[in-house]
A = this chain, B = another copy of it.
Amino acid sequence: QDRLENKTPLINENLKKCLSTKDGRLVASLILDFLQVFSLDFSLAVFQPEINSLNGLDGRDLVCRELGLSESELNRNSPVLLELVRRSRQKDEPSVIN
């Protein structure tokens, strides 16, 4: 029980620290974009208040720019995060796994 008491504030501290960095905000913005693209309205309604970062999240256009992705290349029906994962896999694994 001691450990639990120590853990909870630490975790919130972690999230706060993460969201205070540029990359951390970018990550949260990518998740937001995913939820918006697929109209996951219930998740949106909970995620935004839970991370408590209504102020700091970037829009899709800014996210694309920061990742060096051209927004025009991206399908409006496809989350930016999917493109990021695709690019990342292409670079790192020349069809090694599966």
Contact of A38 with B14 in the complex, beta carbons under 8 Å: yes
Chain A interface size range: 35 or more
- The CA-CA distance from A38 to B19 in the complex, in Å, is 11
Contact with B along A35-79 (1 / 0, CB 8 A): 001111011011100110000000000000111100000000111
Expressed in whole angstroms, the minimum distance between the Cβ of A98 and any Cβ of chain B is: 7
Contact of B50 with A68 in the complex, beta carbons under 8 Å: no
Q: How many chain copies?
A: 2
> Chain A interface mostly helix, strand, loop or mixed?
helix
Which of chain B's residues have a CB closer than 8 A to the CB of A98? 22
Nearest 8 A/B pairs, CB to CB: A68-B92, A15-B38, A43-B47, A46-B46, A11-B39, A42-B46, A27-B81, A43-B46
Residues of A within 8 A of B (CB): 8, 11, 14-15, 18, 22-24, 26-27, 30-31, 34, 37-40, 42-43, 45-47, 50-51, 65-68, 77-79, 81-82, 84-89, 91-93, 97-98
